[in-house]
Amino acid sequence: FFGPATHFHHQHAPTGWTEWEGELKPRAFNLNNIEGAQQTSPWSIPTVLENNECKIRVWRLQEAMSHLVRNADGDELLFIHQGSADLYCDYGHLEVSDGDYVVIPRSTNWRLEPHSPMF
């Protein structure tokens, strides 16, 4: 053990499968080809995966949101893969950029103003 992380080596790695059957098999999604991912509202973009607890969307934002949005049903988690923006919400102003995770609590009004195209 050394440093803030450890790496375990397995003789039979838990992800070293060679065959998979059934509905729960791993899948690969090409998220570059999603239709309608370039909207100014997060509620207008298509859902990639969902269940009763969670919805996953991929959003490309190139211009400032024209209005505030709010999710009264649950929290929002934004991951900024690429780009940067100013996030304005009920709690104030926050600058976000590549690699940032932002948790927006339920019923919080918010909007983004990108400095550069975001994905």
Integer Cα distance of 115 and 80 in angstroms:
13
Query: Does 2.60.120.10 match the CATH number of domain 32-116?
Result: yes
E-only strand ranges, 1-119 = 47-50, 55-57, 76-79, 84-89, 92-97, 101-104, 110-116
Mean pLDDT of 110-116: 95
Q: What is the pTM of this model?
A: 0.74
Q: Evaluate whether 36 touches 45 at the Cβ level (below 8 Å).
A: yes
Listed by start position, the domains of the chain span 32-116
Question: Is the distance from CB of 9 to CB of 23 less than 8 angstroms?
Answer: no
pLDDT digits (tens, 9 = 90+) for 1-52: 455 555 566 676 666 667 778 877 777 888 888 877 788 889 888 898 898 9
Considering all CA atoms of the chain, what is the largest pairwise distance in Å, rounded to the nearest integer?
54
